[in-house]
Every structure is written in structure tokens, then in C-alpha cells.
């Protein structure tokens, strides 16, 4: 940060921050346990003021530095910041079919998870790929790898994996499936920053990985996202796709082709404009410093609540994590067991009435969403695991702050309901 007067600003800014609004200002009246709590502090705001006062609001040195530090954090060579996780997914899909890359051709089939955030599915569709849903394991909330193997056909060229709720997939098995069938792998890690399998960060197993920094995610840049990869040429393609196809944004291409075109306005490819602002990158730098403490606190909160849920394992449980996986818990995803004697909806109504915000496990079984009627390729009949998640799964917030009192209160609210209904 360049600003000499940040010290003078710190106190007035701090005074303006209403700490009770941190529990989500506009919902504060309704929920004492909301889905998300603001995790940024005075440093992020001062960094944004610094960018504004130095008239550097579009991508500049903070973006470059955030990309560098992010790549270091996850252990890859390239990181390209964009304005959302969905944009990261979109650029990855468009890179796969780009004429300069040609990993895939339009019309090729890509297998996708049936429980995820929908833009992971829309992205390959928009890039002209044919998506096919794979079922989801109701224990791990990740792709059912038996169904994945069963769905591979002579048309299949790629897999788009998701590490839902921060839970790493079994990457030994996924990589062996990809190798055996000669498939390209891409990873959506938008809910999984900080997660690893056998010590290797998610997002580094395939050709490219996407991350989201939306308000409620592991770190926030307000809105924002990142693509990671280990290939310089591919990273330049992402930079072109990020900003108009404009040569100026590449990192490794040093000499412009001999065309007589002014290099300042030379276009090497097509592209979108999904650039982040410098203010977002400044947020990212501050948030990245907080990530280890956030992670440790989330893990501690999960273990604390897990102890309560262990008393009721015949009725409900958290998602299951593999022994080799380091889960970066995104939330508290809970599955009711098939033996559970009450309806999910009656429990959710009770929680909501008691001021606890609830959500389905992302979009549930995606094939049940109204949008799927519009596109024939989004219809896939037999997805029993996804149905189980749709019918018996939900999640609650998980906040990266000390929360034992809140979790005790949450456990009491569950207990009231369970006593009445079992
Ligand atoms: C699995 C997954 N993929 C993609 C996205 C899209 O990220 P964004 O909201 O930043 O566009 C999300 C967002 O929550 C997500 O959970």
C-alpha cells in the first residue's frame, strides 16, 4: 500500500464500521446465525481507498501481486484473476475449444457433476461442448466415481470435476480414470480454496482450476475469481480471453507478429471483458494473509459441532471426508439419513423460525431445475445419489471466527426439535 496517510484513516474508518452489521446487515433482524458473515476488515477498506486515491482502479500492480501470491499459495506457476468464479469457469471452457489450443472440439462430450453451482455446467455448454451429468455421492457430495466410469463412452473427451463444499475428490482414482480413458481434467474449486488431496492443492491436478472470491467464500474480494494452471501458453490464452483478445494483456508473448498493426491495439484472439478491478485485488491480498487463521477456525468450528452431531448419527451427519483429504470446510453440509423419522422441511422451518439461515445443497439435483427443460442435453434420468441430496441434504453457515457459544445455541435448537420428533 502506497498511501502515507493510512494511519490517519485507520481510526475514522474503524469507527464507521458497524461491527453488528458484520452479521449481514440487511438480514440482521431475522438471523442470529446467518449463512455468511463479512470477513473483511479495516485493512481491506484502506487498501481500496489507497487504490482510489492513487487513481489506480483498473488492473495494476496489486492484481499482478495477488496473482503471484495466489499461485504460490496453491503451488502452481500461473494464476489469472477474473471478476468471478463463473468467469473463471467460462474462460477455462472457452480455452479448451480455442483454435490456438484445441484440447477439445465443439460438440465433444464433457462429463459434469449433477450437484454443483450451475455456472460450472453453463460454461462448457456456452463454449459448444456437450455436457452429460454424472451422479453425486450423497456421503461425500462429490461425483460418484462408479457412475463416472459407467458414463464414459467413445464420445467422452473430458471431465469437469467439482470439490463441493471444500471436500476434495479421490484424486488418485480420478487421475487413474482420466489416464485410462485419455480424458482431459478441469477442476472447479470455487468452494474449495485451501483444500488438498495427499498434500497437493485442489485445482492443480488437471489442466486448469477455478476459484471464487464471492462474499461468502473462503476469502472474498467482494466479487472475484481466479484461474490457475501450470502452462505459460495456456495462461496467456486465459489473459487474452479475459480482456478482449488484446495482445497487451499477455505475459509471455514478447514480440508482436509482423502485421503493421499498432501493437497497442492488436488483437490476437477473441475474448470477453471479465477483468477484476484493482480494488478487488487489494482485498484479495489482505484476505490471503487471513486465510490460514480462517481455515484453522473453520476446522475447529466443524469439529466442535461434529461432537454434537455424533450423538445423532442415526438421524443426520456431516459430509464424509476421505482420510487422505484435507477438507477446506465451506459450510456445514448436513445429510439426514434414510432412517430419519422426520421430514427435512419441518426441521428447516424450525431452524429458520429460530433465526438460523438454511440452504439446499447448492442447486440440489440440477436436472430438477426449471432451466433443464430448455435444453435436451440437461435431462438425465437416473441420479439416485443426487435425489438423496436434493431430498435429504441442506447446509448452514460456517464462520471463520470463534463460535463455541453460537454452536452451543445451534445444538440446543436442533435438540429441541429432535426431542419432539423422535
Ligand atoms: C462450485 C461453484 N462453482 C462456481 C461458482 C461461481 O462463482 P461466482 O459466484 O464467483 O461466480 C460457485 C459460486 O458459489 C460455486 O459454488
Number of domains observed in the structure of the chain: 2
CATH number of the structural domain spanning residue 384: 3.90.1150.10
Mean pLDDT of 233-246: 97
What number does the ligand 1 atom closest to the CA of 119 have? Answer: 4
pLDDT confidence of residue 20: 76
Q: Is residue 236 within 8 Å of residue 250, measured between CB atoms?
A: yes
Query: Are the beta carbons of 275 and 382 closer than 8 angstroms?
Result: no
Best residue among 212, 217, 274 to mutate for probing ligand 1, ranked by most atoms within 8 Å of CB: 212
**Cα 116 to middle of ligand 1, angstroms:** 9
Q: How far apart are CA 250 and CA 386, in angstroms?
A: 41
Q: Rounded to whole angstroms, how far apart are CA atoms 24 and 187?
A: 30
Q: Which residue has the cell 420428533?
A: 421
23 in a structural domain:
no
Same structural domain for residues 343 and 407? yes
The pLDDT score that the predictor gives to residue 246 is 95
Question: What would the grid cell of residue 355 be?
Answer: 433465526
Q: What is the CATH number of the domain that holds 179?
A: 3.40.640.10
Listed in order, strand segments (DSSP E) in 4-149 are: 78-82, 109-113, 130-134
Going by C-alpha positions, the residue among 63, 56, 48, 51 that lies closest to residue 251 is 63
| Residue 38 CB burial class (10 angstroms; 0-12, 13-18, ≥19) | middle
* Integer Cα distance of 389 and 172 in angstroms: 25
The whole domain housing 130 covers 52-283
Is residue 229 assigned to a domain? yes
Q: Catalytic site residue 217?
A: yes
Distance from the Cα of residue 108 to its chain's centroid: 25
Q: Which distant-in-sequence residues (6+ apart) come within 8 Å of 136 by Cβ?
A: 113, 114, 115, 142, 143, 144, 164, 383, 385, 386, 389
234 & 130 share domain: yes
Question: What pLDDT does 257 receive?
Answer: 77
Does one domain contain both 107 and 132? yes
Report how far ligand 1's centroid is from the alpha carbon of 84 (Å).
8
Distance 397 CA to ligand 1 centre (A): 16
| pLDDT (mean) for 395-408 | 97
User: By three-state DSSP, how is residue 28 classified?
Assistant: coil
Share of residues in the chain with pLDDT > 70 (%): 97
- Cα atoms in the Cβ-side hemisphere of radius 13 Å centred on 402: 1
255 with 404, same domain: the answer is no
For residue 225, which atom of ligand 1 is closest to its CA?
10
Q: Which residue has the cell 460450472?
A: 120
Best of 117, 142, 164 to mutate for ligand 1, by most ligand atoms within 8 A of CB? 117
Residue range 16-41: mean pLDDT, rounded = 82
pLDDT confidence of residue 18: 80
309-345 pLDDT per residue, tens? 999 999 999 999 999 999 999 999 999 999 999 999 9
Contact of 112 with 160, CB cutoff 8 Å: yes
Pocket of ligand 1 (CB under 6 A): 84-86, 89, 116-117, 119-120, 162, 188, 190-191, 212, 214, 225
Contacts 24+ apart (CB under 8 A), 206-210: 206/161, 206/178, 207/92, 207/96, 207/103, 207/231, 207/234, 208/92, 208/95, 208/234, 208/238, 209/74, 209/76, 210/85, 210/88, 210/89, 210/92, 210/186
The rounded mean pLDDT for the chain is 95
- Calculate how far, in angstroms, residue 164's C-alpha sits from the geometric centre of ligand 1: 10
| One domain, residues 254 and 303 | no
Between the CA of 86 and the centroid of ligand 1 the distance, in Å, is 6
312 and 269, same structural domain? Answer: no
Amino acid at each position: 500500500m502506497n498511501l502515507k496517510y493510512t494511519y490517519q484513516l485507520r481510526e475514522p474508518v474503524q469507527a464507521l464500521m458497524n461491527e453488528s452489521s458484520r452479521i449481514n446487515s440487511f438480514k440482521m433482524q431475522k438471523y442470529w446465525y446467518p449463512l455468511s458473515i463479512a470477513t473483511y476488515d479495516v485493512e481491506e477498506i484502506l487498501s481500496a481507498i489507497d487504490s482510489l486515491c492513487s487513481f489506480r482502479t483498473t488492473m495494476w500492480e496489486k492484481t499482478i501481486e495477488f496473482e503471484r501470491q495466489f499461485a504460490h499459495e496453491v503451488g502452481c506457476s500461473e494464476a489469472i484473476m477474473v471478476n468471478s468464479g463463473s468467469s473463471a469457469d467460462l474462460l477455462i471452457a472457452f480455452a479448451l475449444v480455442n483454435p490456438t489450443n484445441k484440447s477439445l472440439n465443439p460438440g465433444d462430450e464433457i462429463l459434469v457433476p449433477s450437484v454443483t453451482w450451475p455456472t460450472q455446467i453453463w460454461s462448457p455448454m456456452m463454449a459448444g461442448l456437450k455436457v452429460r451429468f454424472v451422479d453425486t455421492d450423497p456421503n461425500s457430495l462429490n461425483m460418484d466415481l462408479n457412475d463416472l466410469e459407467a458414463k464414459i463412452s467413445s464420445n467422452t473427451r473430458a471431465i469437469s470435476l467439482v470439490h463441493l463444499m471444500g471436500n476434495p475428490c479421490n484424486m488418485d482414482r480420478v487421475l487413474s480414470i482420466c489416464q485410462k480413458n485419455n480424458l482431459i481434467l478441469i477442476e472447479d474449486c470455487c468452494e474449495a480454496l485451501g483444500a488438498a488431496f495427499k498434500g497437493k492443492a485442489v485445482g492443480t491436478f488437471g489442466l486448469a482450476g477455478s476459484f471464487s472470491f464471492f462474499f461468502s467464500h473462503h476469502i472474498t474480494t467482494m466479487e472475484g475469481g481466479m484461474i490457475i494452471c501450470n502452462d505459460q501458453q495456456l495462461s496467456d490464452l486465459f489473459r487474452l480471453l479475459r480482456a478482449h483478445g488484446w495482445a497487451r494483456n499477455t505475459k509471455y508473448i514478447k514480440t508482436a507478429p509482423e502485421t503493421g498493426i499498432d501493437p497497442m491495439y492488436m488483437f490476437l484472439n477473441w475474448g470477453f471483458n471479465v477483468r477484476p478491478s484493482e480494488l478487488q485485488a487489494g482485498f484479495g491480498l489482505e484476505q490471503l494473509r487471513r486465510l490460514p487463521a480462517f481455515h484453522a477456525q473453520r476446522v475447529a468450528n466443524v469439529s466442535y459441532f461434529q461432537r454434537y452431531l455424533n450423538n445423532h448419527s442415526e438421524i443426520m451427519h456431516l459430509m464424509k471426508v476421505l482420510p487422505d483429504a484435507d477438507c477446506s470446510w465451506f459450510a456445514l453440509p448436513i445429510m439426514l439419513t434414510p432412517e430419519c423419522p422426520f421430514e427435512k422441511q419441518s426441521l428447516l422451518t424450525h431452524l429458520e423460525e429460530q433465526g438460523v439461515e438454511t440452504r439446499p445443497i447448492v442447486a440440489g439435483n440440477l436436472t430438477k431445475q426449471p432451466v433443464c427443460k430448455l435444453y435436451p442435453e440437461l435431462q438425465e434420468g437416473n441420479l439416485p445419489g443426487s435425489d438423496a441430496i436434493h431430498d435429504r441434504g441442506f447446509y448452514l453457515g460456517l464462520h471463520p471466527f470463534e463460535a463455541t457459544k453460537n454452536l452451543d445455541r445451534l445444538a440446543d435448537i436442533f435438540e429441541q426439535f429432535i426431542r419432539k420428533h423422535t
